[in-house]
């Protein structure tokens, strides 16, 4: 079964239970050499979308899921992979139990722009619920964002 590395709002176990109900969480860990960022401002409803980019001095907190084929297909549709919004990239994740080979979605667009405050809040809440360290969550909560709405 392939391992999927969830980041951003997919760190929320309740959200993943809806999107991939037959795929259990295995472990959390870190994606060294990558940075969480946002891009594709023109693609999102409320600003930029989460993605990761290579960055030697950064790391991203992730949750690894044992993804069934059916759940992978459903997640592909949810993430817009079939529309070309995201592509799949194989990566190595460091966990307390050793290194794991997994894949994740990377946005097919340029880095830049700001996420909405609502979306960034969802990402921070998801990281917190998945057990990300306090400093990681705090950094998410203090990022610049768009104020969307009336």
The verdict on whether residue 136 carries a ligand-binding annotation is no
pLDDT-based confidence at residue 83 (cuts at 50, 70, 90): confident
Q: Which of 46, 58, 42 is nearest to 9 (CA)?
A: 46
Residue 45: the pLDDT is 72
The pLDDT assigned to 84 comes to 86
- Residues noted as catalytic: 79
4 labelled binding-site residue? yes
Please check if 86 is assigned to a binding site. no
Q: Is 6 annotated as a binding residue?
A: yes
The Cα–Cα gap between 26 and 11 comes to 12
What is the per-residue pLDDT across 23-81, written as a single tens digit (0 to 9) for each? 999 999 999 999 999 998 877 678 899 999 999 999 999 999 999 999 999 999 999 88
In this prediction, residue 5 has a pLDDT band, given cuts at 50, 70 and 90, of: very high
| Helix (H/G/I), strand (E/B), else coil: 16 | helix
The pLDDT, as a whole number, for residue 140 is: 97
Q: Which domains does the chain have, with CATH numbers?
A: 3-137 (3.10.490.10)
Q: Is 8 annotated as a binding residue?
A: yes
Q: Which letter does DSSP use for residue 142 in this model? A: T
With 90 as the cut, is the pLDDT of residue 22 above it?
Answer: yes
Q: What pLDDT, in 10s, does the model give residues 90-110?
A: 999 999 999 999 999 999 999
Q: Rg of the Cα trace of the chain?
A: 14
């Amino acid at each position: 079964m392939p391992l999927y590395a969830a980041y951003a709002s997919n760190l929320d176990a309740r959200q993943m239970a809806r999107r991939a109900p037959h795929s259990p969480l295995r472990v959390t860990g870190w994606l060294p050499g990558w940075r969480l960022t946002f891009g594709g401002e023109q693609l999102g409803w409320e600003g930029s979308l989460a993605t990761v980019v290579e960055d030697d001095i950064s790391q991203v907190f992730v949750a690894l899921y044992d993804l069934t084929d059916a759940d992978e297909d459903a997640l592909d549709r949810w993430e817009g992979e079939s529309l070309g919004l995201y592509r799949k990239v194989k990566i190595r994740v460091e966990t307390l139990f050793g290194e794991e080979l997994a894949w994740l979605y990377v946005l097919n667009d340029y880095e830049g722009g700001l996420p909405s405050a609502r979306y960034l809040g969802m990402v921070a809440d998801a990281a917190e619920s998945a057990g990300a360290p306090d400093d990681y969550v705090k950094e998410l909560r203090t990022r610049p964002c768009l104020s969307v709405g009336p």
